Amino acid sequence: MKTRKRIAILTGGGDCPGINAVIRAVAKKAILEHGMEVFGIEDGYHGMVNNRYKRLAYDDVSGILTLGGTILGTSKIANPYRYPIGKDKSLEFRDLSKTAIENIKKLGVVCLVCIGGDGSLGIAHRLHRDGLNVIGVPKTIDNDIRGTDVTFGFDSAVAVATEGIDRIHTTAQSHHRIMVIEVMGHHSGWLALYSGIAGGGDIILIPEIPYDVKVVAKTVKQRAKKGKRFSIVVVAEGAKPKGGEVVIKRIVKESADPVRLGGIGFVLAKQIEDETSLEARTVVMGHLQRGGSPTPFDRVLATSLGTKAVELMENGEFGYMSAVKGNKLIKFPLDKAAAGPKTVPPAYPLIQSARSVGTCFGD
Ligand code: F6P
């Protein structure tokens, strides 16, 4: 009996809306057009190290287009090259990449599709360099991956954050308060910029433009003088004051990228109160932005990127990820994609548009 060719899919890093839509796209194309057998590696690189996987039949990936999260599970700490063992004082890291690669080779797959952010794609690159046929698909709400104009998950997170800002607007207006809304985004300001503009934020603070709290306070006071007794401040979790540092929420020692940002919203609200004597409150959008169903845009993007990944497999173009450039789907080398975050360029046209409608960036 002729054995069917096999493909495996893994999802790594923080989840986001649209991952299941990619899993569906990859699996359906592989099954329908190539008659392949599909396997899902469980819990990101944990599953690869510990040889945990499941077979994905057509019916397993049918009906998941609109489902948030990932049916395979994910991990932000599992890295085969620096795999955490033990906890606290007994925590140590081991290079288990050989075991992980052996596990995939034993499964006999022609290609491993890694759906991940820059950290997971960096690992995918190393696995490819060490002998595996790997193709990446860029995923994150942060939109901070180099080589692609946009990542799936971003549009959905912008929609959630914008709805949050809209709802906060009405209570800010009613109570004549300053409302500070902290959004995610890691070290880049895409999410704060887009949701801030979509939600009509009066002040938008992003990591790429360090802010001066006196400028923020002046803007708030000027608005009050003009009769606008409330202000909406949208702050990226990675924003920092001029000459200052980011606010860190926690350190996850097991993680390859151990710093978790968060808390700037509270620091800023206190500073604004001190400077203006106006009442301020903080809302942290947090993981709400990663949950739930993908927007139509993200469903379409996820389907395009997933099917493009299988096309790369067909052409034997391993070591690349599927990506978007203008209105085209392209391939982009994994090592370059993982070479640090894609931040908002200072001359990004949207920043100028926002300034033109009176938005303050705190500079
Ligand atoms: O990369 C996605 C992201 O949600 C970032 O925006 C945020 O900084 C981080 O992950 C939060 O990580 P965790 O889920 O570990 O709290």
Residues annotated as catalytic are 142
For residue 360, give the 3-state DSSP assignment.
strand
Tell the residue number behind the tokens 């004082």, with chain if given.
89
Helix or strand run (H / E) with residue 25:
helix 19-34
By alpha-carbon position, which residue is closest to atom 10 of ligand 1? 14
Q: What is the model's pLDDT at position 218?
A: 98
For 108, phi then psi, to 5°, come to 70, 35
What's the chain's average pLDDT?
97
Percentage of residues in the chain with pLDDT exceeding 90? Answer: 98
Calpha distance 101→141 (Å, rounded): 29
Average pLDDT value for residue range 265-273: 97
Per residue in 311-351, pLDDT (tens digit) is: 999 999 999 999 999 999 999 999 999 999 999 999 999 99
Domain 6-152+294-337 has CATH 2.120.10.30: no
> Are 36 and 8 spatial neighbours (Cβ–Cβ below 8 Å)?
no
Test site for ligand 1: of 70, 139, 142, most ligand atoms within 8 A of the Cβ: 142
Mean pLDDT over 42-59 rounds to 98
Tell me which of 120, 290, 342, 343 to substitute to probe ligand 1's pocket, judged by most ligand atoms within 8 Å of the beta carbon. Answer: 290
Tell me where in the chain the CATH 3.40.50.450 domain(s) lie.
6-152+294-337
The residue written with tokens 């049918």 in the block is 62
By the 8 A CB rule, do 205 and 235 touch? yes
Please state the φ and ψ torsions of residue 268, each to the nearest 5 degrees: -65, -45
Any ligand 1 atom below 6 A from CB of 141: yes
Where does the pLDDT of residue 172 fall: very low under 50, low under 70, confident under 90, or very high at 90 and above?
A: very high
CATH number for the domain running over 154-291:
3.40.50.460
Whether residue 203 contacts residue 362, with contact meaning beta carbons closer than 8 Å, is answered with: yes
Within the chain, all domains assigned CATH 3.40.50.460 are found at 154-291
What pTM did the predictor assign? 0.97
In whole angstroms, give the CA distance from residue 215 to residue 194.
21
- Type of residue found at 344: V
pLDDT of res. 53: 98
pLDDT at 143 over 80: yes
Contact 26, 260 (CB under 8 A): no
List the residue whose alpha carbon is closest to atom 2 of ligand 1: 14
Residue 2 predicted with pLDDT over 90: no
**Token pair recorded at residue 244:** 């200052």
Distance separating the N- and C-terminal Cα atoms of the chain: 69
Token duo for residue 341: 């975050």
Pick from 255, 275, 274, 271: nearest CA to 263: 271
- Strands (E) across the chain are located at 6-11, 37-41, 53-56, 83-85, 92-94, 109-116, 134-138, 178-183, 203-205, 231-236, 248-251, 259-261, 280-284, 320-325, 328-333
Per-residue pLDDT band at 59 (split at 50, 70, 90): very high
**pLDDT tens column, 80-130:** 999 999 998 999 999 999 999 999 999 999 999 999 999 999 999 999 999
Q: pLDDT value at position 3?
A: 81
